[in-house]
Chains A and B, each alone.
Chain A
Amino acid sequence: MTMPDSETAIMRVKLRECRLVTERLCQSIGVPDAMLPCVTICGVYSAALGLAGFAGMERQLDRLTDVRPERMSASVDDGIVRFCAGGQHAWVAAEPALDMLVAAYRIGNATRMIMSDALEARELGVIRGLAERHHLRAQVEMDDDGVAAVDVSARPLGEATVLDRIIHEGIAVEHDLWFQLFHRSHDALAPDTVISRTHTGSIIVRPDGTIVGKADPEFIDMDLSMLTKDSLIRLEKTGTRAND
């Protein structure tokens, strides 16, 4: 079901929507562009794997505001990758850490990684999903101190992945929560100023009413006040046709 069920108010959101909203939320709090895809996919896996997910998103965002990936470090000793997250959030550390393990695994140096000092360590469970992207299976065991042991092994070819499941079934989320996150994700979008409205379109309407751009008789019925009004955002909030 994609529609919200009237009794449970649970809907299923699609991969594209999950990724878009999560990415915008992360971008709006300052996650560096270079880290956005890897942090975003962790947020998506978190929701799909029953971790913090959408219900815990606000908390994760609060703890993702100071991303300093340079604090992370790693070494390989006795066939084990030892990864110190340096106090970084699990969504920031998960992919760099798994990369170290995958690199070691593929040249026969290690199949196990010990991860320590990650914020929101339980979220390291997303590594199960991330490993599938490398065609590997990962087991993640967490101790009471937030230290994770990650073991990777070969994965049968053709076995459905978490991402496959999201693509086919979407992710369940409470309707109101989803739209709350959706609206917050708009923090990553730019304000709609009159000058900003000149940054696209086939014509520009100057403050004095003159038009820059070629007149096209096909568009004589256009409402040019849409390009010059101070605020159009109310319409975006209501989301309905103007002539309804």
Chain B
Amino acid sequence: MTAERNPSIVDPYDQFRLMRDPASLMRPERLAALQPSRVSATRALIARAAKNRWKVTRTQFDLDERARGTACYRIEGDGWEFSFPVFSFEPSGKMRTFRIIGRSWDMMGSLVEGRISARDMQHTREEMPKLYHGRATPGTLVWCRSNRSARYLDYAVDALAGGSQPSPEVLAAANYLMRNTGLDGNGTFGTRSFLSLESDHPLRPALRAQMLAAYMMRVFAHDLVAHLARVRGGGNAAEMSDALSRFLGIGNGSALGLMFFVHNHPRLIDRWLRIREQSIAAAKLTEIASDTGALDTLQALIDRAIVYRSQDQTDYDLLTPSDVIAADLRVIRKELGWLRERAQAGVLETSTPLIEFCESLEGRFTPDAIETLNSLLIELVPDLADELAQTLVLDEELVGRPEMTVSRLREIVRTEYRWAFDLDLVSDSSRRYIWYKSVNAEEPRRGPREEIPEALSLGLDLPRLVVALDADLAQSDARSSVASFLLAHPLHRLIATRVQALAGLAYHSPHADIMSEDFIPAHITRMLNSAVHGIDKTRDAMGRVIRGVLMQGAPLPADLANGTAEQHWFYPPEPEI
């Protein structure tokens, strides 16, 4: 028998009640545990491309036997058309590095609106290698570049050239053939400002254009491997199986720059975390009686995640290893099975049992496992999630409220930034680091102040700014305006404006002292990479670099065009060949 519906459970405001307190969610270590989900940029892009059967066509592929040459693709979707010209190079070890200071790329590509003309193609070919000194053509959305996985691309080519399939288990050590080394858009190099994209533009939501460029780099990587295999193997060369092609994503490495991204895009971060929380809350409110369809779906997804984690060969360092997550998921799966049995027997205590079920997991399992479940829950409300993901178009102009009283501003500071007052902000170790950018490729760096005394600090020292603001607010006339306060205390202008402009947003800034020796930058980078971008198998290096794989399992162009893309393409098992 299903229990009577508790009126408080079905209250429409429950969705908001179930969204997490920022005091727990916004801690860096918890943010780092957030997993890719349907609202992540890659998955949202693929969901739309699959639903609307986007078509990717290779229109040019003129590469020589050493991979030098030009390719071009056309992407058609939602009534829009884009071009993706690719300039391919023979790999060179000279000045090759995984950092943005690298100067050796195996391909460069550009995502451009419409059909690119021969003139623009030539212009792009000349300008793109100059990067900061180059200018994109009108209608350019993204410039991107990537390098081969030296070991695995050659391995795949050798196998295919010999007429056989590469081993999925071998390739699963990297999970990709090429890795992204830069995706630049939104005004950089003269690319289009994303806020200027038309209201029906399919790439208008944040990061969609970059993710489409990443998808196209993956498409090119597969074509490059097929080309090189044919060059070497001639008529004996095999085609990579579709299953293996789907299994391979595009590699990615990110470092300190994403901390600047977080501080420069507080509304986007807030919205992204908010829609994730909202989707999870809505999923937990799924009504379950004897019809266990939702639980069946959830169980199947957990099974998929368990296999994915169990097969993961990645060597994790600071972050939770996949086998630990898999072990946790097995127990969660078992407990969900017990819930399902009770649902089938009609003996549930509530019509929305996922609320209590999820609550019962906290503290018993790793945050990574719990966040995996949370991400999978979102698949129970796909339409809502897709709709919310379309709202990720944010204006980040921060404007103050000059007429606000000092007392009201202080109230906001004391309630919304309570976390800042609990931090150690005075010890030497808490003030040790400085964030800056190097003149070399504008590479973001973070180091002890004494090691780079010439550097200007570019990091937002949020907690210290807030605490200092509070101290002066406390000494000021409570009824006077913020305009008057800032005239008397001009060095609070930046923080006062930020606090006012972001008032009421719960999830805009990590609750952390980023200057502290104890702060681990990789936590924030991983949150961006994993939860926002949708990158899987993210591992850290030295606590400041995150590497992982984008689009692993994503449909191939033919899957999209034919309408045969799997809805739950993520967490792909190693294909059996």
Binding site for B on A (CB under 8 A): 1-4, 11-17, 27-28, 32-38, 69-70, 72-74, 95-96, 98-100, 102-103, 106-107, 133-134, 163, 167-168, 170, 179, 182, 186, 188-193, 195-204, 212-214, 216-223, 226-227, 232-233, 235-236, 239-244
CB-contacts of B524-551 with A (<8 A)? 541-542, 544-545, 547
Do the beta carbons of B94 and A242 come within 8 Å of each other? Answer: yes
Do the beta carbons of B129 and A202 come within 8 Å of each other? Answer: no
Chain A neighbourhood of B443, CB < 8 A: 200
Interface: B95 (CB within 8 A):
yes
Chain B 390-419: CB-based contact to A (< 8 A → 1; otherwise 0): 000000011110110000000000000000
Chain B neighbourhood of A11, CB < 8 A: 135, 190
Chain A neighbourhood of B493, CB < 8 A: 34-35, 37-38, 69, 95-96
* A201 vs B541: C-alpha distance when bound (angstroms): 8
Other-chain contact of A32, B135, B196, B437, B491 (Cβ < 8 Å): B491
| CB nearest neighbor in B for A200 | B445
Do the beta carbons of A14 and B98 come within 8 Å of each other? Answer: no
Other-chain contact of B92, A212, A227, A243 (Cβ < 8 Å): A243
Other-chain contact of A33, B196, B315, B494 (Cβ < 8 Å): B494
A16-B193, A191-B439 given as contacts; is B483 within 8 A of A99 (CB)?
yes
Please name the 3 residue pairs, one residue from A and one from B, whose CB atoms are nearest each other, closest first: A16-B187, A242-B95, A202-B541
Do the beta carbons of A201 and B545 come within 8 Å of each other? Answer: yes
* A33 vs B541: C-alpha distance when bound (angstroms): 31
Do the beta carbons of A196 and B487 come within 8 Å of each other? Answer: no
* A35 vs B151: C-alpha distance when bound (angstroms): 50
A133-B397, A242-B94 given as contacts; is B89 within 8 A of A202 (CB)?
no
Do the beta carbons of A3 and B190 come within 8 Å of each other? Answer: yes
A226-B95, A242-B103 given as contacts; is B150 within 8 A of A190 (CB)?
no
Chain B neighbourhood of A69, CB < 8 A: 490-491, 493
Interface: B220 (CB within 8 A):
no
* A242 vs B102: C-alpha distance when bound (angstroms): 9
Closest Cβ–Cβ distance, residue B498 to chain A (whole Å): 9
Do the beta carbons of B93 and A221 come within 8 Å of each other? Answer: yes
Other-chain contact of A198, B151, B402, B447 (Cβ < 8 Å): B447
Other-chain contact of A220, B137, B150, B256, B547 (Cβ < 8 Å): B150
Task: List 27 A–B pairs whose Cβ atoms lie within 8 Å, in order of A's numbering.
Answer: A3-B135, A12-B190, A14-B191, A16-B187, A16-B193, A34-B493, A37-B493, A96-B487, A99-B400, A103-B481, A103-B482, A106-B403, A182-B132, A189-B437, A189-B439, A191-B439, A192-B438, A192-B440, A199-B452, A200-B545, A202-B544, A221-B91, A222-B98, A223-B95, A239-B132, A241-B103, A241-B129
| CB nearest neighbor in B for A241 | B129
Interface: B486 (CB within 8 A):
yes
Do the beta carbons of B99 and A201 come within 8 Å of each other? Answer: yes
Other-chain contact of B99, A15, A36, A37, A200 (Cβ < 8 Å): A200
A2-B137, A191-B454 given as contacts; is B129 within 8 A of A232 (CB)?
no
Chain A neighbourhood of B103, CB < 8 A: 235, 240-242
Chain B 258-289: CB-based contact to A (< 8 A → 1; otherwise 0): 00000000000000000000000000000000
Other-chain contact of B483, A4, A38, A103, A217 (Cβ < 8 Å): A103
A3-B135, A14-B190, A191-B439 given as contacts; is B151 within 8 A of A218 (CB)?
yes
Interface: B568 (CB within 8 A):
no
Do the beta carbons of A203 and B451 come within 8 Å of each other? Answer: no
Interface: B101 (CB within 8 A):
yes
Do the beta carbons of B441 and A236 come within 8 Å of each other? Answer: yes
- Please name 7 further chain A to chain B contacts, defined as beta carbons within 8 Å, in addition to the given A11-B135, A202-B544, sorted by A numbering: A28-B456, A96-B483, A168-B193, A226-B102, A243-B90, A243-B94, A244-B129
A16-B186, A196-B445, A239-B134 given as contacts; is B402 within 8 A of A99 (CB)?
yes
* A76 vs B84: C-alpha distance when bound (angstroms): 59
Do the beta carbons of A2 and B193 come within 8 Å of each other? Answer: no
Chain A neighbourhood of B403, CB < 8 A: 102-103, 106-107
CB-contacts of B88-138 with A (<8 A)? 89-99, 101-105, 123, 129-138
B contacts with A, residue count (CB < 8 A): 88
Chain A neighbourhood of B135, CB < 8 A: 2-4, 11
Closest Cβ–Cβ distance, residue B70 to chain A (whole Å): 15
Do the beta carbons of B544 and A34 come within 8 Å of each other? Answer: no
Interface: B442 (CB within 8 A):
yes
Other-chain contact of A37, B398, B436, B438 (Cβ < 8 Å): B398
* A214 vs B49: C-alpha distance when bound (angstroms): 38
* A234 vs B354: C-alpha distance when bound (angstroms): 59
Do the beta carbons of A202 and B494 come within 8 Å of each other? Answer: no
Do the beta carbons of A196 and B451 come within 8 Å of each other? Answer: yes
Do the beta carbons of B190 and A17 come within 8 Å of each other? Answer: yes
CB-contacts of B463-482 with A (<8 A)? 481-482
Chain A neighbourhood of B437, CB < 8 A: 189-190
Other-chain contact of B140, A2, A189, A217, A219 (Cβ < 8 Å): A2
Do the beta carbons of A202 and B542 come within 8 Å of each other? Answer: yes
Interface: B340 (CB within 8 A):
no
Interface: B3 (CB within 8 A):
no
Do the beta carbons of A226 and B101 come within 8 Å of each other? Answer: yes
Chain B neighbourhood of A190, CB < 8 A: 436-439, 445, 452, 454-456
A1-B138, A190-B452 given as contacts; is B399 within 8 A of A241 (CB)?
no
Do the beta carbons of B494 and A200 come within 8 Å of each other? Answer: no
Other-chain contact of A199, B186, B402, B439, B451 (Cβ < 8 Å): B451
Interface: B320 (CB within 8 A):
no
Chain B neighbourhood of A222, CB < 8 A: 96-98
Do the beta carbons of A34 and B494 come within 8 Å of each other? Answer: yes
* A167 vs B498: C-alpha distance when bound (angstroms): 22
Chain B neighbourhood of A170, CB < 8 A: 190, 193
Chain B neighbourhood of A103, CB < 8 A: 402-403, 481-484
Do the beta carbons of B97 and A226 come within 8 Å of each other? Answer: yes
Other-chain contact of B138, A2, A73, A199 (Cβ < 8 Å): A2
Chain A neighbourhood of B350, CB < 8 A: none
Closest Cβ–Cβ distance, residue B402 to chain A (whole Å): 4
Closest Cβ–Cβ distance, residue B47 to chain A (whole Å): 27
Chain B neighbourhood of A220, CB < 8 A: 150-151
